[in-house]
Chains A and B, each alone.
Chain A
Amino acid sequence: MSSGTILSGAEIVIKALRDQGVDTIFGYPGGAVLPIYDALFKQNHIRHILVRHEQAAVHAAEGYARSSGKVGVVLVTSGPGATNAVTGLVDALMDSIPIVCLTGQVPTHLIGNDAFQECDTTGITRPATKHNYLVKDVNNLARTLHEAFYVAKSGRPGPVVIDIPKDVQFADGTYRLPGECLPKSYRPQVKPDLNKVEEAVEMLANAKRPIFYVGGGVINSGPVASQLLTQLVRMTGYPCTTTLMGLGAYPAHDQQWLGMLGMHGTYEANLAMHGCDLMISVGARFDDRVTGKVSEFSPNSKKIHIDIDPSNINKNIRVDLPIVGDAAYVLEDMIRIWKARNKRADQAALKEWWDQIAVWRSKDCLKYEKTDKVIKPQYALERLRAAVAGRDDVFISTEVGQHQMWAAQFLPFNKPNRWLTSGGLGTMGYGLPAAIGAQVANPGALCIDVAGEASIMMNIQEMATTMQYRLPVKVFILNNQWMGMVRQWQELLHGSRYSESYSEALPDFVKLAEAFGGVGLRATKVSEVDDVIREMIETPRPVIVDMCVDQKENCFPMIPGGKAHNEMLLGPEERVSDATPEEGMVLV
């Protein structure tokens, strides 16, 4: 089929998806998308995964995209289908995940009439997407679809919505091939200004206490960016820390990695950020979970900021040398120039810096009380880490809360695209559908959703999706019967008044797994942990593990709201309540 062929709108959608290389979409049917579902029915090239809630369709597409490097595609109906998808869209926007979301719409002549299942989808999703479209003419449909894929994956990736009225799906129009359809205006800069890269290399070579601060942009740039980053970090011998979104961009087993930084980052990473004289930020955006108190953030350093999105530069923190470009291109140029100029780090200064870092490291900030009386959540994750050690095919997703931070602290990510978490928006209910998406993209891999008992209830219905498609996803619940992070903040800032943070009336997760047709496992004693983990991994079906952990454990280290990197709490014995400034109290 060539360009210029006449097809129905619904057929154009399917054809355009195929020409964009799409083989999987996540969705839920409804009145306003029936023609597209009919066109799906009549073909065998695109697989549709039926979720149980439109929010989960977007999260699954995010998991698919993040774990495969492809664009995630979603298909939902008008009205509630579109509004349910909004949380997922904002999640993808905040974490820069490429998504194309097709929404049905009432026929064009009914738009604005308060028709059944009508909503102003483009109005509602305008601030929830990178860009959106309402297609009123079937002859613009192919161009719009191709443009949407271009926008979703170019520059800083993000979600794009295409709202398609039902009459446009029925109408006949002309098909156009992808190459004919680029937007006139959107051309993000991917190659850096070489003068600035040269300047950066000079700064890099002259640094005494440098640190690489690496974010999710390196992962979005593709696996080659992670390889280049690793090469540059090793060439220089400098320390490297990653954000929550950047985990896996640098191998976690490497000595030069200081762990994650930020609110629940390691002592050594945060103090190295605070004490450095040169910060090289690659694909990170200086968000408030990373910086802590902005006015005391890394006060004595020069800062190089490499980012594909100019709006990230000087947004929160003023930097000395901004470099706009794709991380892979910039890193490649940096390596080339470093080599060409025979640069070498100042070895004496570097040794002193590493000696200082070794002192911070010796604090062993992730230590926790070892006990055989109760399962510590950190212990459960350490055992999970041991059980999957050496495997290259493990994908971890999380929900949001304490378990998420513990997973980030205790599980090792040595490669990019293996870690799926809701960083920017902090969406409870993200993990199970994201694991589904990762499992669809990586059949045969081990996909584990590290969950909390509260978060998992937000999209528990997706267990039915795992059953329908025989996706052996593992849900690893660290069940402490509390919304743990809420409770931790209530303890720190609200006099331990536990307002609504206890998980009352929890289901029996073992029976719940069985009710869906999966396998339920439970561990209540330390001695059962290893067996349960082994059985979970060996069971070739969906599994829910109810890991009954210490109810009182809190997540440390922690930088309380409004505090600087050098004001970390290392454990429960350190209290913050009196010391937290009022402006810190209002921060989330």
Chain B
Amino acid sequence: MSTQDPIRRHTISVLVDNEPGVLARVIGLFSGRGYNIESLTVAEVDSNESLSRINIVTSGTPMIIEQIKVQLDRLVPVHKVKDLTLEGPFIDREMALVKVVGTGDKRVEALRIADIFKARVVDATITSFVFEITGIGEDLDRFIDLMRQLGLVDVSRTGAVALSRGTGAF
């Protein structure tokens, strides 16, 4: 059986009808069948056809990942399911807003590190910054970790959005 199979992280892209309840269906599928969600993003991507794209980052054994995909695919409002991790190279990006409170050296250091990570200051007071950073999840993790020592008070993250590389589309 699959119990010894390695657990891998997969990014799955799902094209769905933009209709009420579709997100609840997807989330209910994951919770009802005990699958893991690391992040999930959803927004309308085609207003003429009324389609939304859901990006799901999940992890599991190959058997579980296969189940997740076929279970998603049999939901009535689902048009397409694509496992970006398996089906060739892809780009994923995530954005975070990171609030840091401090004065003096820590404040200067926070600004220096933000510069290194190409994070933008989108709000500032005498004692605080809010940085906006975009990148792959691991870069955001590292940036947030560094900010912890420099007065981090709040983080908000979008979760990953993703597309395949190259000319192909779906």
Contact = CB atoms under 8 A, between A and B. Distances in A.
Interface string B7-50: 00000000001001100110010001000000000000000000
Interface string B48-72: 0000000000000001001100110
Interface in B72-90: 73-79
B169 interface: no
Nearest to A294: B1
A310 B73 contact: yes
A311 B25 contact: no
Contact of A314 (B21, B25, B63, B79): B63
B76 A131 contact: yes
Given A294-B1, A314-B63, A318-B63, A151 B20 contact: no
Interface residues of A, number: 25
Given A126-B25, A151-B76, A185-B77, A310 B70 contact: yes
A127 B79 CA distance: 19
Contacts, number: 46
A311 B67 contact: yes
Contacts of A495: none
A185 B25 CA distance: 15
Nearest to A160: B76
Contact of B70 (A123, A131, A184, A311): A311
Nearest to A151: B76
Contact of A127 (B1, B32, B70, B78): B32
B24 A314 contact: no
A186 B73 CA distance: 9
Most buried by B among A127, A130, A132, A183: A127
Contacts of B1: 294-295, 318
B76 A183 contact: yes
Contacts of A186: 76
Interface string B97-115: 0000000000000000000
Nearest to A155: B74
Contacts of A309: 74
A309 B73 CA distance: 10
Contacts of B24: 123, 126
A303 to B, nearest CB: 14
B165 to A, nearest CB: 26
Contacts of A156: 74
A108 interface: no
A295 B3 CA distance: 10
A117 interface: no
A184 B79 CA distance: 8
Contacts of A130: 76
A315 interface: yes
Given A151-B76, A295-B1, A122 B21 contact: yes
Interface string A310-323: 11011100100000
Interface string A94-123: 000000000000000000000000000011
Interface in A267-307: 294-295
Contacts of B78: 185
- 7 tightest CB-CB pairs across the interface, nearest first? A311-B70, A131-B76, A310-B70, A186-B76, A185-B79, A311-B71, A127-B32
12 contacts: A123-B24, A126-B28, A127-B32, A155-B74, A156-B74, A310-B73, A310-B74, A311-B71, A311-B73, A314-B67, A315-B67, A318-B63
Given A186-B76, A310-B70, 8 more contacts: A127-B32, A134-B20, A134-B21, A183-B76, A309-B74, A310-B73, A311-B67, A314-B63
